[in-house]
């Protein structure tokens, strides 16, 4: 597809390739339209009111900000006009029933990176689309399938530019909002994430709570050229998963939000259905990887809709390197005499 083509044109091409994606394509268009509206609000910043004003606590224990609620409302309204039967939103306790009998279910994080709202930094929206599973005895049945059942996934980044990142299982592409025509235009076709890079993202203020493999991995990165990884690393943490994910797609590197020792953080902070599974689908379709440390994220099945999952994603060699630490094959340099010498253990 030519650079500059619209998201609509891309979706038409995907449906021409696979007619079973027609409902998914309609749903993506509804999500994109809502993203443009939320983008307009973000672009007004403080002129749009106190978007960071605190309200109720959501089912995950996070205090909702005004923009969380606005985005939830706008996206669920938009999905009402799409072939979507059920929505699992971060900002709703239970699965919402929109159009009974429709074929699709959507998991959505309407506003990702909420702590950035009040300071005017990057935020986003994350979504995963999957087929409805009818089970009269379980209202959450559609969301209890592995991430591999997603027909599409993606995210919007409300940053200096608004971008819409999407996969329908045929590569990952980035579309950038053309504010003049109010359409998303293709700017990054069929992304291919580099196999390794010298950049990692982790909230290191949690370092003392990490488990041994993550501590060892980060210690070895910090040792730079003098450690077993033989090179120096740069660190980035935007506090918005979407922004870190877009950077990894374009520049490579690795992102980690592991489980840690804090109460309630045993499985990390991020939610499987509307954060880690969609990001994993986007990453794999761009040639990158995503794991919870032991298991490929796309193989994990949720047992409840707000379930959390550790998340490690990014350049394949770097993710494989973290997996080695989890397998105990790569302890931090200096931890054991066996691994203490530079160059003995290379990733």
Ligand X SMILES: O=P(O)(O)OC[C@H]1O[C@](O)(COP(=O)(O)O)[C@@H](O)[C@@H]1O
Annotated binding site: 90, 109, 111-115, 203, 275
C-beta atoms surrounding 183 within 10 Å: 17
The yes or no reply on residue 114 touching ligand X (CB under 6 A) is yes
Confirm or reject binding of residue 72 to ligand X (CB under 6 A). no
CB of 176 to ligand X, least distance (A): 21
- Residue ranges for the binding site for substrate? 112-115, 203
Q: Which does 269 bind (CB under 5 to 8 A by kind): Mg ion, ligand X, none?
A: ligand X
The residue (of 108 and 300) whose beta carbon lies closer to ligand X is 108
Whether 297 contacts 277, CB under 8 Å: yes
Q: Which is nearer to ligand X, 125 or 347 (CB)?
A: 125
Please provide residue 246's backbone torsions phi and psi, each rounded to the nearest 5 degrees.
Answer: -65, -40
Helices 316-326, 212-222: inter-axial angle, 10-degree rounding: 130
CB of 203 to ligand X, least distance (A): 4
**Binding site for Mg(2+): residue ranges?**
90, 109, 111-112, 275
Long-range CB contacts (within 8 A, 24+) of 59-67: 59/92, 59/93, 59/306, 60/90, 60/271, 60/306, 61/264, 62/114, 64/91, 64/114, 65/111, 65/114, 65/117, 65/118, 66/117, 67/38, 67/41, 67/42, 67/111, 67/114, 67/117, 67/123
Q: Starting at the edge strand that comes first in sequence, how are the strands of the sheet with 234-235 ordered?
A: 234-235, 199-201, 254-257, 311-314, 289-291
- In the complex with ligand X, the residue whose CB is nearer, 228 or 268, is 268
Widest distance between CA atoms in the chain: 63
Among 23, 86, 91, 112, binds ligand X (CB under 6 A): 112
Work out whether 295 is an interface residue with ligand X (CB under 6 A): no
CB of 310 to Mg ion, least distance (A): 15
| The entry of ligand X, Mg ion, none that residue 253 binds, CB within 5 to 8 Å by partner kind | none
Q: List the single partner that 203 binds among Mg ion, ligand X, none, CB under 5 to 8 Å by kind.
A: ligand X
Gap between the terminal Cα atoms of the chain = 36
Among 20, 54, 203, 341, binds ligand X (CB under 6 A): 203
Residues that bind ligand X (CB under 6 A): 62, 90, 109, 112-115, 203, 239-241, 269
């Amino acid at each position: 597809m030519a650079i500059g083509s619209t998201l609509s044109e891309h979706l038409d091409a995907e449906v021409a390739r696979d007619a079973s994606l027609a409902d998914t394509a309609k749903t993506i268009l509804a999500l994109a339209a809502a993203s443009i509206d939320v983008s307009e609000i973000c672009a007004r910043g403080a002129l749009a009111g106190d978007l960071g004003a605190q309200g109720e606590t959501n089912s995950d224990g996070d205090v909702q900000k005004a923009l969380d609620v606005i985005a939830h409302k706008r996206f669920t309204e938009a999905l009402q006009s799409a072939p979507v039967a059920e929505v699992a939103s971060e900002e709703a306790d239970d699965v919402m029933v929109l159009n009974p009998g429709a074929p699709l279910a959507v998991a959505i994080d309407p506003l990702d990176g909420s702590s950035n709202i009040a300071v005017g930094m990057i935020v986003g929206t994350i979504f995963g689309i999957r087929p409805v599973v009818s089970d009269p005895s379980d209202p959450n049945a559609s969301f209890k399938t592995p991430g591999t059942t997603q027909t599409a996934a993606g995210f919007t980044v409300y940053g200096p530019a608004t971008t819409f990142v999407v996969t329908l299982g045929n590569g990952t592409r980035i579309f950038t909002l053309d504010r003049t025509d109010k359409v998303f235009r293709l700017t990054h076709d069929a992304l291919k994430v580099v196999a390794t890079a010298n950049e990692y993202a982790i909230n290191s203020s949690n370092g003392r709570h990490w488990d041994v493999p993550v501590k060892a991995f980060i210690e070895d990165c910090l040792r730079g050229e003098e450690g077993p990884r033989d090179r120096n690393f740069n660190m980035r943490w935007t506090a918005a998963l979407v922004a870190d994910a877009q950077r990894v797609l374009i520049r490579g590197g690795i992102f980690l939000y592991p489980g840690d020792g804090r109460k309630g953080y045993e499985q990390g902070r991020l939610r499987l259905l509307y954060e880690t599974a969609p990001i994993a689908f986007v990453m794999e379709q761009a040639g990158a990887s995503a794991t919870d440390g032991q298991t490929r994220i796309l193989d994990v099945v949720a047992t409840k809709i707000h379930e959390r999952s550790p998340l490690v994603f990014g350049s394949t060699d770097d993710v494989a390197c973290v997996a080695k630490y989890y397998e105990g094959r790569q302890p931090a340099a200096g931890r054991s005499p066996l691994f203490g010498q530079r160059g003995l253990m290379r990733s």
